[in-house]
């Protein structure tokens, strides 16, 4: 067995952010995308993680070097024939303003074949595999997720999915152990009619009926909802001031995966996920945080049983 967690991030992006410092503007260049942020948080929690990704073009060259430098993350990168995605944001006025962005071209068949082989190999070596989504859904065919979820699940790997739309439907068909989804995604996908607790829980139960042993529904500033072991609970994190709300859901998924990979309970996984998400919103860096702070917040997370 290799690392306890494999993160499938087929199409990571290069992020460029302009910030205002006291001495003038400052440029920050980092690897990004859902899977990257999740792998970063898993590593921050002290759990070894392997990131499987495809990179290409000039942007991909920069991205691959940045990914290789991520502390605690082992990179398995395969070359792609089309260019890696990117975005440029301006944060000099205090809020994030998009200057330009491109999610990358769709991955071609040969590139997907190579990436699939690498992800399957690393996934079979890990007790838990996280399947994360691309920056834009058209970049990766949902059928790839269905096959990977099916192959990993049938070989005893616990698949954690943080997906929506056709990609979520694909992993539900293939086989999944734990699903994390936002309430907005459930509504956008037509799985929930509105954001009421009853409607979201009903949608979560349908996901569980598809085979998921656990379901976590994030709700922006409201407590998350979770279904596991015939329980429905509200996950109440400790109150903290928000600096950057983006990335909280990815950190929640990472916390859950890290605990499950170490044989922890659903309760501990949910508490860790909520603590990681709560800490992440206090920081500018997505998927960042100190394990000691998450451990302190862990004991302040409440799980309140619902009807």
Structural domain including 54 reads: 5-305
Contact between 45 and 298 under an 8 Å Cβ cutoff? The reply is: no
Q: In the structure, what pLDDT confidence band is assigned to residue 105 with cuts at 50, 70 and 90?
A: very high
**pLDDT computed for residue 1 by the predictor:** 46
Distance CA 31, CA 35 (A): 10
pLDDT for 275 beyond 50: yes
Domains of the chain: total: 1
Kindly state the average pLDDT of the residues 151-162.
98
Whole-prediction pTM value? 0.92
**pLDDT computed for residue 239 by the predictor:** 79
CATH code (residue 16): 3.40.1190.20
């Amino acid at each position: 067995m290799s690392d306890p967690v494999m993160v499938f991030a087929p199409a990571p992006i290069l992020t460029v952010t302009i910030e205002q410092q006291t001495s003038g503007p400052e440029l920050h260049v980092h690897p990004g995308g859902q899977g990257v942020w999740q792998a970063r948080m898993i590593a921050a929690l002290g759990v070894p993680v392997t990131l499987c990704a495809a990179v290409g073009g000039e942007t991909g060259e920069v991205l691959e070097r940045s990914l290789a430098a991520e502390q605690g993350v082992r990179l398995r990168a395969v070359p792609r024939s089309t260019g890696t995605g990117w975005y440029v944001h301006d944060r000099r006025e205090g809020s994030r303003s998009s200057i330009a962005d491109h999610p990358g071209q769709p991955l071609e068949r040969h590139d997907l074949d190579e990436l699939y082989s690498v992800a399957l190999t690393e996934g079979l070596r890990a007790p838990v595999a996280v399947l994360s989504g691309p920056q834009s859904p058209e970049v990766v065919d949902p059928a790839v997720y269905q096959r990977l979820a099916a192959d990993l699940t049938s070989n005893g790997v616990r698949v954690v999915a943080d997906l929506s739309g056709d990609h979520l439907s694909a992993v539900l068909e293939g086989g999944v152990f734990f699903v994390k989804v936002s309430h907005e995604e459930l509504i956008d996908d037509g799985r929930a009619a509105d954001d009421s607790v009853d409607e979201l829980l009903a949608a979560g139960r349908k996901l569980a009926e598809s085979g998921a042993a656990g379901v976590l529904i994030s709700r922006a500033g409201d407590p998350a909802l979770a279904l596991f072991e015939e329980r429905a609970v509200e996950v109440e994190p400790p109150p903290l001031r928000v600096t950057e709300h983006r990335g909280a859901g990815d950190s929640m998924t990472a916390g859950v995966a890290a605990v499950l990979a170490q044989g922890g309970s659903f309760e501990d996984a949910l508490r860790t996920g909520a603590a990681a998400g709560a800490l992440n919103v206090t920081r500018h860096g997505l998927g960042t945080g100190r394990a000691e702070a998450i451990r302190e917040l862990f004991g302040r997370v409440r799980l309140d049983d619902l009807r």
